[in-house]
Structure formats: structure tokens, C-alpha cells
A and B are shown apart, each in its own frame.
Chain A
């Protein structure tokens, strides 16, 4: 018993966040209240109206709205308001039946197929496809012809027909969740499959199912009312669809009859869709990462101003720099104004020099590199400072010239080689495009140059790689291809963002060798972003150490390794395992637990 209550408690806990956000979305909340009121009104119909929906008073036939009949009466003298309320029971109840059948069948089979796969998955996939191929109305007509005009049977069949939507949705999500490490961890913790599904899998499926249910309800209502409107249902029972059917008959006599059931259907459908959208928004609107890093604009400005006044600038120290970043500040909009992630960074890279930009996650090193490349996300804001590339202040260039800088003067090597190659084009197509576009080469020239480049970056069979698609080559090869692409237009500055982090060490060593030889051969400057001090020691001439969006120390590689000045640099180097006595403490327990990692 206690375990059941635990499961329930955890489910409500998990749900609280979403419900909470949903209740703060005005549109979704309004929709939810509206739906609730409508359902309540149909349930409480006998209390709200004295009329029987099926008993007509002939004297009142086609009565206009008034104190006796609030919304008027139909051709048989039946009260419209009463028929709307009682009819809502039938329309909404039938839709609810179809929806329940669809959800229960679809979700259960989806869970099973997704979690266990194998023959059941194959079987259910075939069945699903078959059911989806059947046209809804035809199917319902066939059922009506076979078993007669019975509403609940039609609705169960409709539910079964709508179940594949739920099945597919559930199955897809479950297949994703099944491979999550927390499901593996739960398995190792000794949880049975039933418990894993209840605790971990259902939680992930729940919200999308609710959204899908809201939209499927619209379909169910539409189909059910549509059948009645066509006169294919039992016209003896009041429902919104039957009302529409009757209104159609009297369209020229009393067009207003069409209005009321139409409005009722409209309101319910719009409310359902708004609720679905609201829930989706509530789920997507994850709260931003919390923490003490946020600063208000004012504070950031003040901090930057303080830094600006700190005497000598990099520009004075490195007069011949090919890439110069001065006082760069980057911010992102956040709940409390602007949160600044880079606070006045100064960098200078000389021609033919490799500058390492090191720091831990969240230090702002990647943001700095992206701003140099003009690749910051759209919502990012450059709050101040300048970036000068090859003597040109980028902010002062028109957009076209700015773009031209990329490729010709500035090139980029990313961290994830695979996701930076377009899977739908061959390596050759991706390599020759910039050559023809930027360098103005002909097709033949570009191909010859691309093949030469592929050979230069150490690819054994350039012709074959040239004709390969990205998924046909290994990660190491992909990185070589990207390096070939980066140097193809003979840039002066290469920005490499963790270029070897995703690679195995043996491949990393080869890629670093390649970068070094290309850099020496072409006299390129490289800005290398990395967290790996081994890589820094291998390839960099100078290092800049970043922490919390600031550069805390810059210097010659040998000097920094031999005699780090800033406490943060000392702490980082002190965390290295190299030359440490194995199986001894690495961090002095006297040292304060910085940021309590």
C-alpha cells in the first residue's frame, strides 16, 4: 500500500510544475474554465431549465428569444436552451466515449510496443497503418449498416479508429525514454518493469497525451456532429448535431436556429484547442537556469565601466594583432533585465600565433568565440566593446562586408564534426560550394582544389571521401574534412571551438598535428577554445584563462604553466592529475568549496 501512495505522491509532485505554469497562462486557464462550466451546465441541465428537450409546445413553434424561451424554440416548439443543455450531454458524452476508447487502447498498446518492442511492435505498427488507411465516415457508415444505428457502438468504433494517433505518439516517446540513463539506473536499482513504466515512462508521456487528447476531442466532436447533421444518427435524441440538422431544414424560415448549436460547437472546439496549445506552451516554457550568475544591466554596466578604467589595453600591448577583441560584453535577456555572460573581454592574436582560450563551462569562452565569428544566437546582445579583424572594426562594416569576412579572413572549426556537415550533401558538394562562391573558382578548379585539400589534411582516398555522404565517414575524418573546408579559402584567422573534444585521443593527436602543420605552413592565427590543458600545452603559444566571463590571466604558455599568477589559474592547474600521486586527495580540504561543486 505504501508503495502505491509513494507513486501517487511522486506523480502529483511532477505534475505540479506543469499545472502551476498552465494556471498562469491566461488563455489556457480561460479555456479550461470555459470547458468546465459547459460540462457543468450540461450535467446540471434539469436545474437550469424547466423544459423537457423532447417535448414541444406547438403554440411556441419557432418562437423568437424572449422571457419564456431564452433562445427561442424550434419548429416543433421545443425550447432551444433546454435542447442545447441536454444535447450537450449527448454530444460531449459521445465524444468523451470515443476519446476514452482511443486513449486507453492507443496509450496501452503504445506503451507496450515502445517498451518491449519486438514482435508486438511490428504487429501493432502494421495494424495501426491499416486502421489509419480507412476513411472515417465510410467506416462509420459501414458499422451503421451492419449493426444498426446505435450511438455508443459508433463512438467505440470511432475511438478505435482514432487510437493509432495515441499509439504512435506514445510509442515514439517511450522508445526515446526507454534509452534514457535514468531508466537504466532504475533497472539497476531493482525496479520491476511495471514500476519503471508507472514512475518514469508515464511521466514523460502524460503531457503530450493530454495535448493530443484535446485535439482528438475536437475531431471526435466534429465527426459525431457531422454524422448527425447528415441525418445519419437517431434524430429522436437531442444533440448539437441533430439541432444543426433540423436548423438546416428550416434554414429559410428561421436561420437563427443554426446559430445556437453552431456557437456551442465553436466554443467547445476553440476552448479545447486553446487548452492544448496552452498546455504545450506551459511545457515548452521551461524556467531559465537559476543561480547567482545573473546581474542586472546596471550592475553589469558598472562592472564593465570599472574594468574599462583599469589602465592599459591589449591594443597598446599588441600593436600588430590580426584579431583584436576589446572590452567585449555579451548579455542575454532574462527575467530580471539582462544577464551578462561576458564582462569586458580583451584579446589579441598576432599573425601566425595560436592563442588558447581556456576556462570551465559557463566561463563565457564559447560566447566570446562565437561573437568573433558573428555566430551568436539571435537573442544575444553585444552590450559593448569592439572586434577588429585584420584592421577592420566589424561593427562598422555593412552586413555584406561582414559576411564576406567569414570564409576569406575568418574561418571556423566546430566541436561536433558530424552535426556541422549537412547530411543531405556529399563532402565534395560542401567543400566546393564556398570555393566557387567565395573564391570565384570554376567547377573543375574547385574540385581539383578540394581534392588537393583532402589529401593535404591526410585523407587516404580523397576521391572516395569527396563522393561520400557525411554518415559514410568517421568522426575523425569528418573533422579533417571540416578543417579542409575551414582553410580552403585561405583565412588569416581560424577560430576553433573545442576542435578535438569529441574525438578519441589517438585521433585528437593526429588532428592537433594537422592543425599545427597547417598553421605553420600558412602562417594562420588560431584562436583555440578548449578546456584541456594537454591540448593547450601541445599547440598554443599563448593562453588566456577565463572565469565568470572575464579574462583573469593572459600569458606565454610556458610562463602560465610554470608560474601561474591568478588564484583561479593555480586552482585549475592544481586540479590536473598529471604527476599527482595516484589514489591521494587532489583538492586540499582546507580550500573552500568554491561554488560547492
Chain B
């Protein structure tokens, strides 16, 4: 399986609990996942399912208790912090909340320059790259000097995407990147994600609680429930005709924006639960 960009094998993550002698909380209980180059894998689940923890474990922000995370043939789980830092040009992130993911005291230019300068890019080159990035995410060219608070939620998310793109990564972990956005903004940001993937061949691990969003953006979808993956497969198949009862419950619970269809779904759901 050398064409896999990311391979997660039997990943277990535990968080210590407060108090002496308490058993640790097992947030991920043996996760297996593969992600090919240029592919989008949607990760869907409800709150507490462990989907965010999985994304953070891949990014090195959550501990790996057991198992391995193989990225381009190298195990991220056994890397030192120093080695991890070197991976920043391969592996990036876009978080849910565009309000807290940008430092409010830094200008857009400083935010975008940060990953570039860390890699030793010269000031002039960084400025050129920032101009490219702003153009790439369709922000006005003069945005650089402004502070995050001068931008709307959608625009801030564009800044966060530009920061993730700065080093041309192979994989971006997107943790609920459109959940905090308005409907019309969500549509534009999803368009941007697709466009960027077409142009750069970047792969996405796309985490969301919204089946519709995941269906729209993903090639394949994995469904998480209580720290385990209960179903994984082709996006259309998993989100339209799921096999696992939990996925079916999730699908039936998502309201359809069509009164007649929703009425039908509601009755189906009631029949299912009876």
C-alpha cells in the first residue's frame, strides 16, 4: 500500500483522568484508516465520538498511547518533537472556529508569514508567497496589514486556509471548518476546498458532524461512534445507504430541507425506532 499517504493502524489514545488511581479515558479505541494521495476522507460522528481527537492525534496535538500513524512511510507516533516540527510543510490544519484560530493581536500578514519564516524563507520571498496565497483564497490583496477582527467569519476561515496552504502541504486536517459559518458562506468555502484540491492535489481529512457536508466534499466517508469507526466506505454509499445501524440512525435524524420529504423521513425514523 505504498500509494497511501496516511495509514493509521490500531490507534489508541488515552487521556489521564483527574485523581489518583483513576483509569484513563480511552478516547480512541483501535482506529484503522487509510488515506490516499489527493483524496478526501470524511470523518463524521456526534460530539464525544472521538473524531476531533483522531484529527489532533494525526497533527501531534493529542497523545498516541498505542498503534502507529504512518505518513509517507514514516511513523508520526514515534517521532521526537524536533522531527514532528519538520513535518509542518507536509501536514497542516484548518480549525473550526475562525475566531480563536487566528491570533487577534497579529496582522494577517504576520499570521501567514509565521509558517514561512519558521522554515527560513526570506522576507521578500515570504511577501511574494503571501500575495499569492491571498489571491488563491480570494481575499483582497490589501488584507495583509489588517487584523483578524476586521474580517467576517468566512473571510477569517479563508485566512486560516491560506495559512494551511502556505507550505504546500500534502495533507490538511480540516476540523469542522464550515460548522461555524453561515449557509451561503459554507457553500463558498466548500467550493474553495474543492478548487484547491483540484489545483494542488492536497489530501483532506475532513472532520464534520454534518452528513450532508461530508457527503458533498468526500471521496470516502468513515463514521465514528464512541471512539471507534463503525463504518467506512464510498461517500455516496455510506451517506445514502448506510449499513451500520448507528449510521442509519444518524442519517434518519438529519432533517431534510424539504417539508414533504422530511415528513416521510420522520415517519421512517419513528418506524425504525419502534
On A, residues with C-beta under 8 Å from B are: 2-3, 6, 10, 13-14, 17, 180-182, 184-192, 195, 199-200, 203-204, 289-290, 360-361, 504-506, 508-509, 512-513, 531-538, 557-558, 561, 571-578, 580, 582-587, 593-597
Contacts and interface: CB of A to CB of B under 8 A. Distances in A.
A188 B92 contact: yes
A558 B59 CA distance: 45
Contact of B250 (A506, A535, A536, A582): A506
B242 to A, nearest CB: 14
Nearest to B213: A577
B233 interface: no
Contacts of B260: 558
Contacts of A6: 113, 117, 123
A512 B253 CA distance: 10
A329 B259 CA distance: 31
A189 B274 CA distance: 50
Given A184-B93, A575-B183, A203 B103 contact: yes
B215 interface: yes
Given A534-B255, A575-B184, A578-B258, A192 B85 contact: yes
Interface of B: 46-47, 56, 59-61, 85-89, 91-93, 95-97, 100-103, 105-107, 110, 113-115, 117-119, 122-123, 138, 140, 147, 149-150, 152-155, 160, 163, 182-188, 190-191, 194-195, 209, 211-213, 215-219, 235-236, 249-250, 252-262, 266, 269
Contacts of B256: 534, 537, 578
16 contacts: A6-B117, A14-B106, A181-B95, A181-B97, A181-B100, A184-B93, A184-B101, A188-B91, A200-B103, A504-B209, A513-B266, A537-B255, A537-B261, A575-B184, A583-B217, A595-B152
Contacts of A181: 95-97, 100-101
A586 B191 contact: yes
Contacts of A534: 254-257, 262
Main secondary structure of the interface of A (DSSP, over half): helix
Contacts of A531: 182-183
B140 A596 contact: yes
Contacts of B149: 289
Nearest to B61: A184
A190 B85 contact: yes
A188 B93 contact: yes
Given A199-B114, A204-B105, 18 more contacts: A14-B105, A17-B147, A181-B100, A184-B95, A185-B95, A188-B91, A188-B93, A189-B92, A189-B114, A191-B114, A360-B182, A360-B185, A506-B250, A537-B258, A538-B266, A561-B258, A586-B216, A593-B138
B44 to A, nearest CB: 10
Nearest to A11: B105
A13 B107 contact: yes
Nearest to A177: B103
A537 B254 CA distance: 11
A181 B184 CA distance: 24
Which of A190, A534, A576, A593 counts the most chain B CB atoms within 10 A? A190
Contacts of A577: 187, 190, 212-213, 215-216
Given A190-B85, A582-B215, A561 B259 contact: yes
Contacts of A290: 150
Contact of A13 (B93, B110, B254): B110
B212 A578 contact: yes
A497 to B, nearest CB: 16
A582 B100 contact: no
Which of A182, A195, A504, A508 counts the most chain B CB atoms within 10 A? A182
Nearest to B193: A583
B184 A572 contact: yes
Contact of B253 (A506, A572, A578): A506
A290 B187 CA distance: 25
A10 B106 CA distance: 7
A571 B110 contact: no
Contacts of A190: 85-89, 115, 118-119
Contacts of B187: 574-575, 577, 586-587
Contacts of A572: 183-184
A17 B113 CA distance: 20
B118 A533 contact: no
B198 to A, nearest CB: 10
Which of A189, A195, A558 counts the most chain B CB atoms within 10 A? A189
Please list the 3 inter-chain residue pairs (A to B) with the smallest Cβ-Cβ separation, ordered nearest first: A534-B255, A190-B88, A597-B154
B188 A185 contact: no
A535 B255 CA distance: 6
A186 B114 CA distance: 8
A189 B115 contact: yes
A83 to B, nearest CB: 45
A587 B188 contact: yes
Contact of A506 (B92, B150, B249): B249
A505 B253 contact: yes
B254 A557 contact: no
A582 B106 contact: no
Which of A17, A185, A537 counts the most chain B CB atoms within 10 A? A185
Which of B106, B255, B256 counts the most chain A CB atoms within 10 A? B255
A580 B89 CA distance: 34
A255 B103 CA distance: 57
Contacts of A186: 103, 114
A203 B118 contact: no
A10 B183 contact: no
Contact of B194 (A13, A508, A585): A585
A204 B143 CA distance: 23
B193 to A, nearest CB: 10
Contact of B259 (A10, A180, A532, A557): A557
Nearest to B95: A181
B105 A203 contact: yes
A596 to B, nearest CB: 7
A509 B147 CA distance: 40
A480 B226 CA distance: 23
B155 A596 contact: yes
Given A189-B118, A561-B258, A578-B256, A583 B191 contact: no
A298 B165 CA distance: 46
B82 to A, nearest CB: 9
Contacts of B102: 182, 185
A10 B101 contact: no
A577 B113 CA distance: 34
Contacts of B47: 504
Nearest to A505: B253
B101 A185 contact: yes
A506 B46 contact: yes
A573 B256 CA distance: 12
Nearest to B217: A583
Contact of B257 (A17, A508, A573): A573
A505 B85 CA distance: 37
A195 B87 CA distance: 17
A272 B92 CA distance: 46
Nearest to A576: B257
Contact of B100 (A3, A17, A180, A583): A180
A167 B97 CA distance: 30
B216 A580 contact: yes
B183 A537 contact: no
